[in-house]
Structure 1
Amino acid sequence: MEKITNKLAILAHEVELKTCLNLTDINIHAEFFFCDLLNLIYGFELINANTITSNAKAIDLVDFNKRIAVQVTSTSDFQKIKHTIDGFVLSENANKIDRLKILILTKKKKYKALTYGDSFKIQIKDDVWDYTDLIKTISALPPEKIKNIYDYLESQLPEIKNNKAPKEVSTILGMIKILSTEDHPMSGNGFLDEPDPHKKINTRFSAYADYLLGIYVSLISTYAGILAEISSQSDAGILNLNKIAVYLKRFSDSTLNECDGDPVKALNKMTDYYAAKLIADGIDYDDSAIQYYLIDNMIRCNVFPNKASLPC
C-alpha cells in the first residue's frame, strides 16, 4: 500500500506540473491508464468512450452494463464539475447512464457545495474523486486484489532507480535546508502573488522557452517523484515555504538582472551558487537535481517572479 500510495501521488504531481506547462498529452494517456486501474479497483468494465465516438460529450470512460461513466480531468475547479454535469445532461448518453464520477488527476479542492445538478444530480463528496479516494478504496480490498493493483502500477509506473536516489534526495533536502534557514539577506515584496507560468515562459522568456522546457521535461521522470515525496513528508512548520518563496524571488530576480535578463545564464549562475553552498555543507550534490529544483520553482513563479509592472 505504501508503494501504491507513492506511485499515485507522484503521478498526480507530474500531471499537475505538465498541465501547468500546457503539456496536455499526459491527460490523454491518463484516460487509458485509469480505465484499466478503475476496472481493477471497482470491478467495472469501463472502456474509453473516445474509442467509440471521437470527443465523447462530458465523459471519457463508460461501462454501459453497469450504467456508470467517468470524466477524467486535470482541472479541479468547481466550474469544471458544473460544465461536465451540464454537458452530460444534454448528451445522448444521459439516458444510458445512472452514475457519473469525476476523477481529478491532480488534487481536488474543498468544495462548498454538497450536490450539483437538477435532472441529474451528483453528490460532490462521493462522486468527485482524486487519487486519495482511490487509495482509501484500495486499502480496503482483499490482499490479492491489492497485489494485482500493485503489479499493474509497477508495470505502468516503474520505480526510480535506487542507485541514484540517495544523492538526488540529499541534494534537494540540502537545497530546502539552505533556503529555510533563519537568516536571509534578502526579503521584501514587489512581485505578483498569482503565478502565470505558461505566459511567463512562453511570452516573457519566449526566446529561451524551448530550451527551458526541454531541460525540465527531460528531468521530470527522475526528479518529480523525489520532490513530491520530500514535500509530502516535510513539516511545513520547520520548512517555512513562504520564507523559501520570498527568498528565491528576491535572489533569482537579482541574479537575472546581473545576467541582463538571460534566464539560462541566471539559472546556471544560481546552480553554481547552490552547488558551492552544498559542498560547504559536506553534501555530495547532484547538479541536475539543483537545476530541476530551480526550474520547478520557476514554473511556480518563485524563481524569476513576475513583477507587478510586467505583463507576465
Structure 2
Amino acid sequence: MNRQRYYNYIAEKLEVLSFRIKTNGKLNLLDLNIHSETLYRDFLNILYDYNLEPSNIGKANYEAIDLIDEEKRLVLQVSATATTTKINDTLKKKKIKDLSELDYHIKFIFIANEAKKLRDKTYLNQHNINFDSKTDILDKVTILESVSQLTIDKITSIYDLMQKEFGEKPDTLKLSSNLAAIVNFLAKENLGNVFNKIQLNDYGIEEKIEFNDLSDIKESTFDEYKIYYGILDRIYGEFIREGTNKTVSVFRKITSFYEKEMVAKNLTNVEKFFNIIGKVEEHVMKSDLLREIPEEEIDMCVRIIVVDAFVRCKIFKNPRGYTHVAP
C-alpha cells in the first residue's frame, strides 16, 4: 500500500534526522537544528492544520519561543534538548507571562531525543499559561503516531514535503536499479511450481530466526518465501557470469536499508524486517522496468528477495558458527 511506503519513508527520515542532530550536537554543530525548525514548521502545519510562523518574523521575537500560530493562539518551542530544566526555564520567562495573559497555549517539540519520561513530570508553570505535560510535549514518536492515523491525502502531502526537503524527488523519467532488474527477472519466473535443487539447511535458518526474535513470522514469511532460494541463486549466478556487479550492488543496497533500521532502538526486529521490505519496495517502484508488473507481484518478489538476503547472511545477526545455509 502507498500509505505504508509513505509512512516508512517519513519515519526513516525523522529517525535519521534526529540521529544526526544528536551527533552534530556533540560536535557543537548546530546549523541542522535551525533548518530542522523550518522543516518541523511545515510538517506540523500539514499534520495538525496549524499556521505556524517563525516568532521573529515581522514582530519582536518572543524569547524562548520558536514558532507561533496567532490565529490558534499557539506557540511552540523546538529543541534538541529534552529535559525538565529546559521546560521549566522556558515557562518562567517574562514573555510567557505576556502570552498567558493573551490566552496562548504552549507546546514543546523535541526533535532529537524521545520525551516520554517528561510527560509524567510536574512543572513550575508560574505564569499559568495553557500547558498540559501529557499532551503538549511532543517528540518523533508522538508525531509518527499522528502520521499513522492521517488520511491518504495528508500523508501524501507530508511524504512530498519530506522528499523535497531531502532532495529525493525522482524525475518524471523513472530511475533504473539493479534491485528492480532482479524483481523484473523474478516476476517472469513460474513461481507456482517451484523445484528447489539446492538443499537448504533448515535447522540453520530456524536457529537464525530464533536468534533474531523473528519467530512470529517464521511460517508466514520465512517458510513461505525461502523455497525460492534456488531461483534467485540462478538469477544471481547469471549476473556473475556476465561479469557485472549487479549481485553485489543488490546485496549492499538491502544491507544499507538494514543498517538504517538498526538505528531505531524502539522497534522490534519483526517491525524492522517489514520496514526493510517496505524500503526495498519503495526503491524498486521508482523504476520503469516494473511499469507493467502488478503491485501485488512486486510485493511478492520483494519479499522473496529480502528473505533470501536473510538466508544468505546479508541482513540480521548470525548465531555463533552460522555462515551459510546451503551446504
TM-score norm. by structure 2 comes to 0.49
Q: Tell me, yes or no, if structure 1 residue 125 matches structure 2 residue 131.
A: no
State percent identity of aligned pairs. 25
Which whole-Å deviations, capped at 9, do the CAs of 1:83-122 have from their partners, x for residues lacking one?
A: 1111165554333352111010112341241555142252
For 1:113, the equivalent position in structure 2 comes to 121
Query: Hey, which bits of structure 1, 4+ residues long, moved more than 4 A?
Result: 88-91, 159-165, 224-228, 233-237
Corresponding residue for residue 38 of structure 1 = 44
Amino acid paired to 1:67: R
Do residues 15 (structure 1) and 21 (structure 2) align? yes
Distance 1:228 1:116, change over 3 A: farther
| TM score, norm. by length of structure 1 | 0.51
Give how far 1:46 is off. 0.7
Does 1:76 pair with 2:82? yes
Q: Distance in 2 between matches of 1:65 and 1:159?
A: 34
Gaps of 5+ in 1: 166-223, 238-281, 284-312
Structure 1 residue 235, shift from structure 2 partner: 8.9
Secondary structure of the equivalent of 1:148? helix
Alignment-derived partner of residue 217 in structure 2:
none
Corresponding residue of 1:188: none
> What corresponds to 1:102 in structure 2?
108
Could you tell me how far apart the structure 1 residues matched to 2:15 and 2:122 are? 25
The number of residue pairs the alignment matches comes to 183
Q: Is the CA contact (8 Å cut-off) linking 1:115 and 1:121 kept in structure 2?
A: no
2:112 is paired with a residue of what secondary structure?
A: coil
Deviation at 1:38, TM superposition (A): 0.7
Tell me the SS of whatever aligns to 2:75.
Answer: strand
Name the CA distance, whole Å, in 2 between partners of 1:235 and 1:133: 14
Q: In structure 2, the residue corresponding to 1:62 is in which secondary structure?
A: strand
The CA RMSD measured in Å over matched residues stands at 3.5
Which residue of 241, 263, 269 maps to 1:231? 263
- The one-letter amino acid paired with 1:6 is E
Bigger radius of gyration, 1 or 2?
A: 2
Q: Which residue of 2 aligns with 1:57?
A: 63
Conserved in 2, the CA contact under 8 Å of 1:58 and 1:85? no
User: CA separation in 2, counterparts of 1:134 and 1:235?
Assistant: 15
Structure 1 residue corresponding to 2:152, chosen from 111, 131, 143:
143
* Rounded Cα–Cα distance in structure 2 between residues aligned with 1:233 and 1:81: 25
Q: Which residue of 2 aligns with 1:157?
A: 166
1:28 deviates by 1.3
- Per-residue CA deviation, residues 215-255 of structure 1 (Å, 9 max, x unaligned), is xxxxxxxxx99755223269999xxxxxxxxxxxxxxxxxx
**Distance change >3 Å, CA 164–CA 52, structure 1 → 2:** farther
CA distances 1:15-49 after superposition (whole Å, capped 9, x unpaired): 11111111011111122111111101011111111
Alpha-carbon shift at residue 142 of structure 1 (Å)? 0.9
Comparing 42-51 with 150-159, greater Cα deviation is found at 150-159
Which of the numbers 35, 50, 54 marks the counterpart of 1:48? 54
The 1-side partners of 2:257 and 2:28 are apart by: 19
1:96 and 1:234 map into 2 onto residues whose CA distance is 39
User: What is aligned with 1:256?
Assistant: none
